[in-house]
Amino acid sequence: MEMAKKPGAGGSGEESAAWSIVGYLISGLVIWGAIGYGLDSWWHTHFALPVGLILGAGASLYLIWLRYGRE
């Protein structure tokens, strides 16, 4: 017997994981990029935004590895 899905529940577990990974990647870039942009504006420089984007991408990949890669 097949169980009925809850209203508003996402698709399969793999689909949900894929959207979660996309969310981690986007949020890492946006948050750390915004921090870098703010520091660039405050310090009147042009290096903190790229550094923030790289840190955000790295931190996102690390969190994805922690959550999904260690099985």
Amino acid letter at 20?
S
Q: What are the pLDDT tens digits along the chain (71 aa)?
A: 554 555 555 567 788 999 999 999 999 999 999 999 999 999 999 999 999 999 999 999 999 999 998 76
Can you tell me the distance from the alpha carbon of 62 to that of 44, in angstroms, rounded to the nearest whole number? 30
Q: Is residue 5 part of a domain?
A: no
Q: Is residue 52 part of a domain?
A: yes
Q: Is residue 4 part of a domain?
A: no
Q: Is residue 1 part of a domain?
A: no
Taking the whole predicted model, whether its pTM rises above 0.85 is answered as no
Show the domain range for 40: 18-69
The pLDDT of residue 48 is 97
Helix locations, the chain, DSSP H? 13-43, 48-64
The total number of residues shown for the chain amounts to 71
The pLDDT of residue 57 is 97
> Is 53 in contact with 29 (CB distance < 8 Å)?
yes
Domain count, the chain: 1
The pLDDT of residue 9 is 55
Q: Is residue 45 part of a domain?
A: yes
The pLDDT of residue 71 is 67
